[in-house]
Every structure is written in C-alpha cells, then in structure tokens.
C-alpha cells in the first residue's frame, strides 16, 4: 500500500503534501493500471466527483487537470 494516499476533505497527499494524486502516486497508478487504463480513468473520475464536493472553491478545470487531465490519451 502506498503512503501517497489522499487525505480526507483536503485531497492533499498524506505522503508528500502535494495535491493528490501527486507525481509519485501518478507513476504508481500508471504502472499498476498499465493493462487497464479505462479502470484507472474510472477510478480517478470517481475521485474527481468526490473532490468537487470537498473543494468547492477550486475551479472545475483545475480539478479536472489534477485528477484526470494528466492521463495519457486512450485514442489511437
């Protein structure tokens, strides 16, 4: 289990205090879900929905970038 998990209501990384998912957790998740990129996108999309309720003062586009905007494109 990674120490780079989100802290409740703040969505900051418990391992390094960066916005979650932090660069370390991003690398970990990309490796963990290398064979299941849609599952990773769904997981992070769910986290985005949860975070919107907690981070109401943050612009929607910024939350999108934080949670799913960094994912590699799945189109070919």
61: left (phi over 0), alpha (psi -120 to 50) or beta: alpha
Report in angstroms the alpha-carbon separations of 69 from 3, 61, 74. 23, 9, 12
Q: Rounded to two decimals, what is the model's pTM?
A: 0.91
Q: Mind listing the pLDDT tens digit for each residue in 20-73?
A: 999 999 999 999 999 999 999 999 999 999 999 999 999 999 999 999 999 998
Would you state the structure tokens that stand for residue 31, as one six-digit string?
């490796």
Number of neighbours of residue 20 by Cβ within 10 angstroms: 22
The full set of domain ranges for the chain reads: 23-69
Tell me the angle at which helices 23-32 and 37-54 cross, rounded to the nearest 10 degrees.
Answer: 140
């Amino acid at each position: 289990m990674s120490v780079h998990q989100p802290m409740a209501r703040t969505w900051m990384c418990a391992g390094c205090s960066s916005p979650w998912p932090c660069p370390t957790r991003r690398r970990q998740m990309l490796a963990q879900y290398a064979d299941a990129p849609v599952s990773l996108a769904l997981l992070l999309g769910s986290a985005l929905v949860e975070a919107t309720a907690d981070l109401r003062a943050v612009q929607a586009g910024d939350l999108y970038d934080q949670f799913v905007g960094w994912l590699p494109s799945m189109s070919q």
